[in-house]
Structure 1
Amino acid sequence: MADREIGTVKWFDRKKGYGFITRDGQDDVFVHYSAIQSEGFKKLQEGDRVEFLVEERDKGLQAVNVTLIPAEDQG
Structure 2
Amino acid sequence: MAEGTVLWFNSEIGEGAIQPDGWISPSMPSHRRTWWRRRRSSSESSVEPVEIYVHYSQIQMRGYKELNAGQRVSFAIERRPNGSLVATTVTPLGPWIDPL
Q: TM-score when scaled to structure 1?
A: 0.85
SS of the residue 1:55 aligns to? strand
After superposition, give the CA deviation of every residue in 1:39-73 in whole Å (9 maximum; x if it has no partner): 0110000000000000011441100000011158x
After superposition, give the CA deviation of every residue in 1:2-59 in whole Å (9 maximum; x if it has no partner): xx00000000000010000011113220000000000011000000000000001144
Unmatched tracts of structure 1, length 5 or more: none
Q: CA RMSD in A?
A: 1.5
What is the count of residue pairs matched by the alignment? 69
4+ aligned runs moved over 6 Å, structure 1: none
Aligned to 1:44: 67
Unmatched tracts of structure 2, length 5 or more: 24-34, 36-49
User: Which amino acid counterpart does residue 51 of structure 1 have in structure 2?
Assistant: S
Q: TM-score when scaled to structure 2?
A: 0.65
Q: State how far apart, in whole Å, the 1-side matches of 2:95 and 2:7 are.
A: 17
Q: State how far apart, in whole Å, the 2-side matches of 1:14 and 1:58 are.
A: 26
User: Which amino acid counterpart does residue 91 of structure 2 have in structure 1?
Assistant: T
User: Which amino acid counterpart does residue 50 of structure 1 have in structure 2?
Assistant: V
- Which deviates more from structure 2 when the two are superposed, residues 49-58 or residues 5-14? 49-58
Larger radius of gyration: 2
Identity of aligned residues (%): 41
- Which deviates more from structure 2 when the two are superposed, residues 4-13 or residues 19-28? 19-28
Aligned to 1:68: 92
Are positions 1:56 and 2:76 aligned together? no
- Which structure features the higher share of strand residues? 1
